[in-house]
Chains A and B, each alone.
Chain A
């Protein structure tokens, strides 16, 4: 949910560009340039990954690119810090497998 009426801050949502992105194949909306994790939160998604060894649920924690709790697969690239990675139109955001698999390289 967005803060439309804040007593101190005006987020000027009407001036921002809304973009479509995909989370686990599902179409969602967010604002261009905001961190991917912020757009996911706005859509009610707080579970961002599973811990690689014990398979524990992890969500946004530090939001400054330090703690690794928000690493996800974005456009097939794993280990993207979604807390500081800006959202772009059409991005494909997915859960990653443990420490993340490298994308397949096509040799032409």
Chain B
């Protein structure tokens, strides 16, 4: 038996939840599916306060933004299915979901793929040893389930994720042996780096990790300097005793399902990988399939929430054809907010990436 929905949203993180909240203002029969038991995605692990303006939930902790979003969902209009994987899209309007050890087929008028991203790996000796985690995994253990993930950590990557997760580890009583960054400077906001430096955490810029060693799991890491040619400088090796190595070396958009559905995909370095082409409403080259959040290029949760709202708004408008001027007002408002996020030294990179994958309106 095939279930019918107006909108199916794949992914219950900041983008997917925002899409559901926005769309449910205008329409009903919305389904949100996520592989995790509870919705929220990465947002539910963020204990730090967000920046930006009040409209972007500034000075609110991610975890609280998450519960605000979840609480504002009308359960009569939106159904949430956890522990459910979307395994395939069949043209024109059919998606197959794996849930409770069964495959079910679901039809919808519109689809929003808010499938997020996955963490990058970095090559070094024994990089598969237990005790080496993606930064997101460590956040899951400590911030969602209250498990102390380590005693002493070496963080690889001084972008925002590396800096923020290091600080969160310290909040959980974990020692940070240092933060290693191959670039000559810190990639993330200096306010996050300053929090670590105030606690005497060394940040090794122009350094990389050479290897991890230990019998059953990590006992020690070896790092060294990198030259201006990005190659390790021999003779500068340094041993650091840690039981955990945390990788925060960037994210790659998860576009498998969009690719399989036939959406046009293009590489954009600024967006950290292959991403689906989309118009200003977040609609892809396949009519009726929208993308939002990190799956459309790596940015921050604030941008993901706005993109989710845009996709949810347009999907609902296409179904319900509600008041056009109300729709246009709302679109312009979201566009303005997105534009303001994408200005300044950190936002410009995303803005130039988005230009590469921009689809003119049909």
CB nearest neighbor in A for B129: A57
B130–A58 CB distance below 8 A? yes
Query: Given known contacts A7-B171, A57-B130, A63-B136, is B118 in contact with A1 (CB within 8 Å)?
Result: no
Q: Is the CB of B131 within 8 A of A59?
A: yes
Indicate if B133 sits at the interface (CB-CB under 8 A).
Answer: yes
A3 touching B130 by the CB < 8 A rule?
no
Instruction: Identify A65's interface contact among B35, B63, B134, CB under 8 A.
Output: B35
Nearest residue (CB) in B for A60 is: B137
Task: Identify which of A3, A33, A46, A59 contacts B172 (C-beta below 8 A).
Answer: A3
In the bound complex, residues from chain B placing their C-beta under 8 Å from that of A62 are 118-119, 134, 136-137
**A34 lies within 8 A of B128 (CB):** no
Q: Is A64 in contact with chain B by the CB < 8 A criterion? A: yes
Question: Which residues on B sit within 8 Å (CB–CB) of A42?
Answer: 147
CB atoms of B146 and A2 under 8 A apart: yes
B114-151 vs A, Cβ < 8 Å mask (1 yes, 0 no): 00001100000000111111101100111111111100
Does A9 belong to the interface (CB within 8 Å)?
Answer: yes
Contact yes or no, A66 B130, CB < 8 A? no
Known: A62-B119, A62-B134. A47 touches B216 (CB 8 A): yes
Evaluate contact between B217 and A46: CB separation under 8 angstroms: yes
Within A55-74, which residues are at the interface with B (CB < 8 Å)? 56-67, 69
Q: Please tell me if the beta carbons of B137 and A41 are within 8 angstroms of each other in the complex.
A: no
Is A48 in contact with chain B by the CB < 8 A criterion?
yes
Asked whether, in the complex, the Cβ of A46 is within 8 Å of the Cβ of B171, the reply is no
Q: In the complex, A50 Cα to B265 Cα: how many Å?
A: 36
Complex CA–CA separation, A83 to B148 (angstroms): 16
B53 at the interface (CB under 8 A from A): no
Give the residue of B136, B145, B173, B216 whose beta carbon is less than 8 angstroms from that of A35: B145
* Interface contact B132-A61, CB-CB below 8 Å: yes
Tell me whether B52 is interfacial, beta carbon within 8 Å.
Answer: no
The answer, yes or no, to whether B36 is at the interface (CB within 8 Å) is: yes
Residues of B within 8 A of A100 (CB): none
CA distance A9 to B217 in the complex (A): 28
Check A34–B145 contact: CB distance below 8 A: yes
Bound Cα distance from A48 to B133, whole angstroms: 13
Quick check: B83 and A48 within 8 Å, CB to CB? no
Chain B: residues with Cβ within 8 Å of the partner, total of 34
CB-defined contacts of A63 to chain B, threshold 8 Å: 133-134, 136-137, 140-141
Q: Is B37 an interface residue (CB 8 A)?
A: yes
A9 contacts B148, CB within 8 Å? no
Q: With A and B bound together, what is the CA distance between A7 and B145 in angstroms?
A: 15
Interface: B61 (CB within 8 A): yes
Least distance between B346 CB and chain A CB atoms (Å): 24
Name the residue on A nearest B171 (C-beta).
A7
Q: How far is the CB of B46 from chain A (nearest CB, A)?
A: 10
Q: Chain B CB within 10 Å — which of A1, A46, A65 has the most?
A: A46
Check if A61 sits within 8 Å of B83, measured CB to CB: no
Residue among B61, B119, B133, B137 making CB contact with A8, cutoff 8 Å: B61
A81, chain B: closest CB distance, angstroms: 9
CB <8 Å contact, B47 and A8: yes
Residue of chain A at shortest CB distance from B151 = A1
Task: Quote the shortest CB–CB distance from A95 to chain B (angstroms).
Answer: 13
A86 CB to nearest chain B CB (Å): 5
Given contacts A3-B148, A6-B146, contact A86 B83 (CB under 8 A): yes
Query: Which of A41, A51, A58 has the most B CB atoms < 10 Å from its CB?
Result: A41
Contact for A59 among B36, B63, B130, CB less than 8 A = B130
Selected from A6, A33, A35, A46, the residue in CB contact (under 8 A) with B131 is A46
The CA of A6 and the CA of B143, in the complex, are separated in Å by: 9
Offer 20 A-B interface pairs, CB within 8 angstroms, sorted by A: A3-B147, A3-B173, A6-B171, A6-B172, A8-B171, A9-B63, A34-B145, A35-B140, A38-B140, A38-B145, A46-B217, A57-B216, A57-B217, A59-B133, A60-B130, A62-B137, A67-B118, A69-B128, A83-B140, A84-B35
- Which residues of A pack against B, CB within 8 Å? 1-3, 6-9, 11, 13, 31, 33-35, 38, 41-42, 46-48, 51, 56-67, 69, 83-84, 86
User: Could you list which residues of chain B lie within 8 angstroms of chain A, going by C-beta atoms?
Assistant: 35-37, 47, 61, 63, 83, 85, 118-119, 128-134, 136-137, 140-149, 171-173, 216-217
